[in-house]
Amino acid sequence: MSIEASPAVHAGPGLDLWWIPRGIVLGLIAFVIFGPLANLLLWTVAERWYFPHALPLDYGFSYWARVFAPRGNAMEALANSLTVAGLTVVVSLLLAVPAGYALARLRLPFRALILVAFLIPQAFPNLPVYVNVARLFYQLGLNGTVPGVVLVHVTHGLVYAVWIATAAFSAVDAELEEAARSIGAGALRAFMDVTLPLAAPGLLASAIFVFLESLDEFTGSYFVGAPDVNMLPLLLYTAGAGGNYQVASITALLLLVPSIGFMLVVERFLKSDVLSKVGR
């Protein structure tokens, strides 16, 4: 990314030669981002495609019909993925809202350490941990169940939930809550009526983060969920490993849609005043 020189170099009114380097750089970025996505879309409608052919030999929707067949396992995987992600959000927020409020507002011993503790599931390799979790869950009868997978996803998503919730509560002016208290509102009332609504956009952002993190999660689902709880990432992986790029690409597309939808609206929820407080 080049930073252009001062506007004094402009060739004249209406004609801005700096659009040439700008256009090239932006065009390259666009290709790097949309090229792979276009390739994926091609694969979803390719009936036959192999090297050295630049484009698919036949186009069609027969793989879509196969994926969405009533007896196909994609619909089951989709339903499982959405159920797990929804439950993960509910459990994560129930844990993260009080924790985030305490971290943002109350005097806590070892505050920095507590904040970093939520980073642990992201900071250490998950794979050996999930193997041991699977062993533990097997003894408890949680292996291969939806609650088991939800618990694994909650652990993994808590860093987003707690860190963003903390940032969201920090960004709310503490004096507003104090004002509510001084005119007679109880602590809980002031929190529910003043702080919580003001922090809501940030909390919603953290909820969506957790939701997408859960949809994305592969390693934990693989060890704790599979094969009893089939989910979209597992379906994608098995289809791709079996060389069925069409089914893998269609599944990938199903996972892409919510992710890109959120990307387009994220800044409506995550304002820079909240963003600048993440991790602090």
Partner 1 sequence: MPLPFLGLILVLPALAVILLLFVVPLAASVAGAFEVGGGFGFGNFVKTFELYTLDIVFTLVIVALSTAIIGALAIAIGGYLTLGENPRAVALLRWLYRWPMFIPFIVVGQVLRTFLAKNGLMNNVLIGAGLIDPLQAASFLDWRGIVIAFVWKQTPFVALLVAGAMASVDRGTLEAARNLGASRVRILVEILVPQVAGTLMVALVLSFVTMMSVLSVPLMINAQSPTMITADIAFRINAYGDYGVANALGLVSLVLSAGVAVLYLRHSVRERA
Query: Residue 3, interface with partner 1 (CB under 8 A)?
Result: yes
Query: Residue 138, interface with partner 1 (CB under 8 A)?
Result: no
Q: For residue 50, give the DSSP letter.
A: -
Find the binder of partner 1 among 69, 127, 174, 192 (CB under 8 A).
127
Query: Residue 7, interface with partner 1 (CB under 8 A)?
Result: yes
Residue list 247-276, contact with partner 1 (CB under 8 A): 248-249, 252, 255-256, 259-260, 262-263, 266, 270, 272-273, 275-276
Cα–Cα separations (whole angstroms), residue 49 to 37, 56, 215, 248: 17, 4, 29, 14
When the beta carbons of 180 and 234 are compared against partner 1, the nearer one is: 234
When the beta carbons of 72 and 121 are compared against partner 1, the nearer one is: 121
Task: Return the closest-CA partner of residue 150 out of 206, 94, 68.
Answer: 94
Residue list 187-246, contact with partner 1 (CB under 8 A): 212, 215-216, 218-219, 222, 233, 236-237, 240, 245
Residue list 69-98, contact with partner 1 (CB under 8 A): 95-96, 98
Count of residues near partner 1 by CB under 8 A: 97
Torsion of CA 179, 180, 185, 188, to 10 degrees: -110
When the beta carbons of 79 and 120 are compared against partner 1, the nearer one is: 120
Find the binder of partner 1 among 122, 186, 193, 242 (CB under 8 A).
122
Rounded to 5°, the CA angle 272-274-279 comes to: 115
Residue list 14-33, contact with partner 1 (CB under 8 A): 16, 18-19, 22, 26, 29-33
- What CA–CA distance (Å, rounded) separates 84 from 77? 10
Token pair recorded at residue 241: 């490993």
- What CA–CA distance (Å, rounded) separates 86 from 81? 9
Find the binder of partner 1 among 8, 20, 106, 140 (CB under 8 A).
106
Query: Residue 169, interface with partner 1 (CB under 8 A)?
Result: no
Least distance CB 200 / partner 1 (angstroms): 18
Q: Is the dihedral of CA 114, 207, 228, 128 positive or negative?
A: negative
- What CA–CA distance (Å, rounded) separates 29 from 27? 5
Least distance CB 145 / partner 1 (angstroms): 14
Beta-carbon contacts of residue 132 (< 8 Å; ≥ 6 apart): none
Q: Is the dihedral of CA 99, 105, 106, 108 positive or negative?
A: positive
Query: Residue 152, interface with partner 1 (CB under 8 A)?
Result: yes
Q: Does the bond joining 258 to the residue before it have cis omega, within 30 degrees of 0?
A: no
Find the binder of partner 1 among 40, 146, 196, 204 (CB under 8 A).
40
Query: Residue 114, interface with partner 1 (CB under 8 A)?
Result: yes
Query: Residue 64, interface with partner 1 (CB under 8 A)?
Result: no
